[in-house]
Amino acid sequence: MRIGVCPGSFDPVTNGHLDIFSRASKMFDVLIVAVFHNPNKKPLFTMEERVEMLNLATYDIPNIKVDSFSGLLNDYVRRQNSSFIVRGLRALSDFEYEFQRALLIKKIDPAIETIFMMTSSEYSFISSSGIKELAKFGGPITGLVPVCLEDKIIQRISES
């Protein structure tokens, strides 16, 4: 069985993320979308909320499993019986950052491969931080995030 792991903070999940999940899911028997606990970030949503939101947003992609983890990514990938990491890229700056991370993981565990996928051009400008900023100032997020999560995102932004 071919298992891929697509890690990220997904705070919140965007349509750009969904684009990568949908396309990557066709490459694997199972694609694990894994919410990473990053101690250096202050997320808007809890880990449990992000897992729940991802489950809602990916309900129609049958081979996606949503999970969460903390610690080293290569250890998590191995625990999932995988050797593939899927990373979505929007711009050259994403590539530089992700390339360095992929090389570090390759140094630690040479059997793990990182697959870079370019997001579709219609989503290349979307980021979770941009969504939060747009919503904070009352801007429209329709078409940028899954419809089923729009109200939840707007409500959380208004509470913070």
pLDDT tens figures, 27-40: 999 999 999 988 78
**Whole-number pLDDT of residue 160:** 77
Q: How far apart are CA 78 and CA 85, in angstroms?
A: 11
Cα distances (angstroms) measured from residue 67 to each of 7, 37, 77, 96, 112: 9, 11, 12, 26, 19
Contact 14/131 with Cβ under 8 angstroms? yes
79 is catalytic: no
**Residues 120-132 pLDDT 10s:** 999 989 999 999 9
Q: Is 37 annotated as a binding-site member? A: no
- Mean pLDDT across the chain: 94
The token duo for 147 is 């419809």
37 is catalytic: no
Delineate the domains of the chain, giving CATH numbers in brackets. 3-159 (3.40.50.620)
What mean pLDDT is predicted for residues 59-74? 96
Q: How far apart are CA 19 and CA 111, in angstroms?
A: 27
**Residues 86-107 pLDDT 10s:** 999 988 778 888 999 999 999 9
152 is catalytic: no
Given the residues 90, 106, 152, 156, select the one marked as catalytic.
90
pTM: 0.94
Beta bridge partners of 4: 31, 84
**Residues 5-57 pLDDT 10s:** 999 999 999 999 999 999 999 999 999 999 998 878 889 999 999 999 999 99
